[in-house]
Amino acid sequence: MKKDIFKSYIETVKPYEPGKPVKESERELGLRHVVKLASNENPLGPSRKALRAMRKALQEAHYYPESKCFYLVKRLVQELGVTEDQIIIGNGSNEIIELIARGFLKEGDQVLSSATSFLVYPILSQVCGADYVSVPMKDFRYDLRGLLGAVTEKTKVIFIANPNNPTGTYVSTSEVEDFLSKVPKDVLVCFDEAYFDFVDVPDFPHTLFHVKSGKPNVVVMRTFSKSYGLAGLRIGYAVGSPQVIGYLHKIRQPFNVNAIAQAGATAALDDRFFLWRTKHLVRWGRRYLYRRFDQLKLRYLPSQANFILVDCGVDAEEVFQALLRQGIIVRSMKSYGLNTWIRVTIGRRSQNALFYRALKHFLKKRVKVKGV
């Protein structure tokens, strides 16, 4: 191929490395049952109400889907108290991030976010030719003052994952208020709240309030992939000002969200019991694993999400491989420079216990070998 048809700023992009699907790992390891605690999915599966609605929707799969996700948008309007022209649905919230990048960024623009955050932000920003600047964290948390200090006239978009992936930490109401009062009005501030439903602290910011009160440069993104258990369907949404949302609608594909996902997500919003069970499981699981990590004398970060970052004190890749051999998939944090840390998704009770036992077994053996 002629070299000059490739864009140099795309050639240097490091592709996203997704967690391996369960079936692929089972095939490769020759195991019958693999426990995947690597991609922050919902271990309860999809809600029954969602499944029923999706089965019904399958019968109409010969039709194109609703282009603007009419029923889901109506349901979200009720749920969130915003207007229809303030919502856009995406093929996962990843697509919304992509629409924002495509819509607002060009070569030479600057995107700001934090170090040790969601890897899709740099990838999609760089693909549009923008410079991605990541501000160091403070105590494993987004440093909003640091972000403000890094703003230049080239800054177009700021991504704030709250709670953050992979740390599980959050920024508070007062920090966000202060930040929004100082950030230039022509910079788009995108709060990525993929893990919003797992939060249980009282000082978590009400970012939707800022959208409702008419701040034109605030966007809030959420997803059905985590608390609603629909990651495989790819569906998420953003809420923002009619001006920004209308602009994003112009650049999306006409049928960007499939009909099955629309039906599943709409029904999932009505499955209160499923959401309650999920939240309960995650909160219980967090407390369980904190206790276990304390017993193992491991440092971990208290989390507001459905995963925990833990320092195992030994090479993370080694921990990952050892757990994998026992059929448990977690995420090594080496690519973030956290060489001895892993991220583990909260699973069902039995899965959390399996993970704990496998980790304890490995660490005991490892320390013994080291001590010889």
The structure tokens 């889907």 sit at 65
CB 341 within 8 A of CB 309: yes
Tell me the one-letter amino acid at 44: L
**Between residues 236 and 285, which has the closer beta carbon with respect to ligand PLP?**
236
Q: Give a three-class secondary structure readout of 118-158.
A: CCHHHHHHHHCCCEEEEECCECCECCHHHHHHHCCCCEEEE
**Between residues 198 and 362, which has the closer beta carbon with respect to ligand PLP?**
198
User: Rounded to the nearest whole angstrom, what is the least distance from the CB of residue 305 to ligand PLP in the complex?
Assistant: 8
Burial (CB count <10 Å: 0-12, 13-18, 19+), residue 28 = exposed
Residue 309's nearest CA partner among 334, 278, 277 is 334
User: Rounded to the nearest whole angstrom, what is the least distance from the CB of residue 366 to ligand PLP in the complex?
Assistant: 29
**Between residues 98 and 131, which has the closer beta carbon with respect to ligand PLP?**
98
User: Rounded to the nearest whole angstrom, what is the least distance from the CB of residue 343 to ligand PLP in the complex?
Assistant: 10
**Between residues 232 and 302, which has the closer beta carbon with respect to ligand PLP?**
232
User: Rounded to the nearest whole angstrom, what is the least distance from the CB of residue 368 to ligand PLP in the complex?
Assistant: 36
The torsion angles phi and psi of 223, rounded to 5 degrees, stand at -140, 155
Which residues contribute to the site for ligand PLP (CB under 6 A)? 40, 92-94, 118, 161, 165, 192, 194, 223, 225, 231, 236
User: What's the chain's length in residues?
Assistant: 372
User: Rounded to the nearest whole angstrom, what is the least distance from the CB of residue 39 to ligand PLP in the complex?
Assistant: 7
Alpha helices in 189-302 (DSSP H): 207-212, 242-251, 259-268, 272-295
User: Rounded to the nearest whole angstrom, what is the least distance from the CB of residue 161 to ligand PLP in the complex?
Assistant: 4
How many Å from the N-terminal Cα to the C-terminal Cα in the chain?
56
User: Rounded to the nearest whole angstrom, what is the least distance from the CB of residue 60 to ligand PLP in the complex?
Assistant: 24
**Between residues 155 and 304, which has the closer beta carbon with respect to ligand PLP?**
304
- For residue 52, give the 3-state DSSP assignment: helix
**Between residues 143 and 193, which has the closer beta carbon with respect to ligand PLP?**
193
The enclosing H or E element of 332 equals strand 331-332
Mode of pairing for the β-strands spanning 341-345 and 307-311: antiparallel
**Between residues 73 and 322, which has the closer beta carbon with respect to ligand PLP?**
73
User: Rounded to the nearest whole angstrom, what is the least distance from the CB of residue 159 to ligand PLP in the complex?
Assistant: 9
Residue 194's nearest CA partner among 168, 214, 221, 217 is 221
What tokens appear for 36 in the block? 């995947």
**Between residues 105 and 221, which has the closer beta carbon with respect to ligand PLP?**
221
Residue 309 CA to residue 299 CA, distance in Å, equals: 9
